[in-house]
Amino acid sequence: MTQAGFDQVVTFLHAADLERTTHFYADLLDLPLVRDQATCRIFRAAPQAYLGFCTHLEAPHPQGVILTLVTADVDGWYARLKAGGVEFVQPPAHNPKYQITHCFFKDPDGHLLEIQRFDQPLE
C-alpha cells in the first residue's frame, strides 16, 4: 500500500467562550485567525498546522493532551506571555532525558500548552 500522506493537520478542541479563546490564541500567542465559522474558529499554528476551537464540541477532560508549540525562543515566549498575564505551570527548564527546553501553561479552557525547543531540531 502506498502512503498518500496528508496536506494539513487541524486539531479541534472545545472552547467555552470563543471571544476569550480568540484573545488568548490571536492576541497572546499571535496565531492568525484563518477561518471563523461562528461556532468554530481556526488558527494557523505553523505553515500547514492549525488549531480549531468550537463551542459545540463536548467539553473533554483535557488530562493527557498537550498542545506543543515548537520554537527556538522558549525564553522569549515565556517573557512575552508572562508579561501578558499568563500564569505558568512550569517556567522554562532543560529536560536532559528528552533533550528539550520547555515550559507549560494552560489556556482559558484548561488545555495544557507547552512551548518547546529541541536540542537537535526534528528537521
The DSSP result for 13-56, as a single string, is EE-S-HHHHHIIIIIIS-PPEEEE-SSEEEEEEETTEEEEEESS
Number of domains in the chain: 1
Report d(CA 83, CA 29) in Å as an integer: 12
Q: Is residue 114 part of a domain?
A: yes
Q: Is residue 72 part of a domain?
A: yes
Residue whose C-alpha is closest to residue 113's, from 83, 71, 56: 71
Q: Is residue 37 part of a domain?
A: yes
Q: Is residue 20 part of a domain?
A: yes
- The predicted pLDDT at position 7 comes to 84
CATH value at residue 28: 3.10.180.10
Q: Is residue 80 part of a domain?
A: yes
Taking only the tens place, the pLDDT of each residue in 61-105 is 667 788 999 999 999 999 999 999 999 999 999 999 999 999 999
Maximum C-alpha span of the chain: 51
| Model confidence band, residue 3 (pLDDT cutoffs 50, 70, 90) | low
Report d(CA 27, CA 2) in Å as an integer: 41
- The predicted pLDDT at position 64 comes to 72
- The predicted pLDDT at position 60 comes to 66
Report d(CA 101, CA 49) in Å as an integer: 22
- The predicted pLDDT at position 114 comes to 95
Report d(CA 17, CA 27) in Å as an integer: 15
- The predicted pLDDT at position 28 comes to 96
Q: Is residue 123 part of a domain?
A: no
How does strand 112-118 pair with strand 100-106?
antiparallel
- The predicted pLDDT at position 5 comes to 78
Q: Which residue has the higher pLDDT, 27 or 4?
A: 27
- The predicted pLDDT at position 95 comes to 96
Q: Is residue 4 part of a domain?
A: no
Q: Are 102 and 114 in contact (CB under 8 A)?
A: yes
What is the extent of the structural domain holding 85? 9-118
Q: Is residue 3 part of a domain?
A: no
- The predicted pLDDT at position 61 comes to 67
Taking only the tens place, the pLDDT of each residue in 36-67 is 999 999 999 999 999 999 998 776 666 778 89
Global pTM reads 0.85
